[in-house]
Amino acid sequence: MSRIDGRTPDQLRPITIERGWSKHAEGSVLVSYGDTKVLCTASVTEGVPRWRKGSGEGWVTAEYAMLPRATNTRGDRESVRGKIGGRTHEISRLIGRSLRAVVDHRALAENTIVLDCDVLQADGGTRTAAITGAYVALVDAVAWAREKKLLRAKGQPITGGVSAVSVGIIGGVPMLDLCYEEDVRAETDMNIVCTADGRFVEVQGTAEGAPFDRDLLNQLLDLGTLGCAELDEIQRKALEGLEG
């Protein structure tokens, strides 16, 4: 059974990670999952939010947004509406949690890194692309901070890799890395965030149509784990040559 875009069910879309996209940010990546393009910038600032001051620990957080015409029909700007929608909030929080899972905040010292993930073009899987790209931007930002002697002498702020991918069931078949057209047809949609050693950071499965049973859930978890392993490899290649 072939997919809309000719892929096999367990095949990722073409993935590209372009580092150093922005001249200003301490880390920046343009990540593509097929036609989904997300600009991820990592901004380092000394100091931490008020509630964390004096803790000796840093903070990593994320903000996700879409350009109004990233999608097929133009959406209103959240700045114009004057409030952030539930979906934006939810995804920003997911990205932040996913990255913090591989951060040693003590080694970061009292510095803050904000990951801005702006979707320039959307074709499904924007949140997973954002996590995968933001990780690479974060690594670059940490390297920058090390060079500026902002970090603790000992310890490694990043404890391992993290990447994310969507999986879903379409016509009863589990498929990896859904594009938008597949996403809208999926009976079940799951986002999986894994560390480089194959453990889970987040598992979020939602029955869009009929509820799913344990067997299908297992197939989705298998597929997602494989996808993340592949993405981890792509991240490593993108980062090769970096002097950590």
Chain contacts with a second copy (rule: CB under 8 A): 22-25, 28, 35, 39, 41, 43, 45, 63, 65, 67-74, 77-80, 82-90, 92-93, 97, 101, 114, 116, 118, 120-123, 190, 194-195, 197-207, 210-214, 217, 221, 225
49 neighbors 100 (Cβ within 8 angstroms): no
Residue spans of beta strands (DSSP E) within 35-187: 36-46, 59-66, 111-121, 162-170, 173-176
225 neighbors 217 (Cβ within 8 angstroms): no
**Is 133 labeled as ligand-binding?**
no
Smaller CB distance to a second copy: residue 56 or 198?
Answer: 198
Task: Calculate the CA 165 to chain-centre distance.
Answer: 8
Shortest reach from residue 21's CB to a second copy, in Å: 8
Shortest reach from residue 228's CB to a second copy, in Å: 11
Q: How far apart are CA 76 and CA 41, in angstroms?
A: 23
Q: How far apart are CA 50 and CA 196, in angstroms?
A: 32
**Is 127 labeled as ligand-binding?**
yes
Shortest reach from residue 241's CB to a second copy, in Å: 24
Shortest reach from residue 239's CB to a second copy, in Å: 20
Smaller CB distance to a second copy: residue 25 or 48?
Answer: 25
- Binding-site residue numbers for phosphate are 87, 125-127
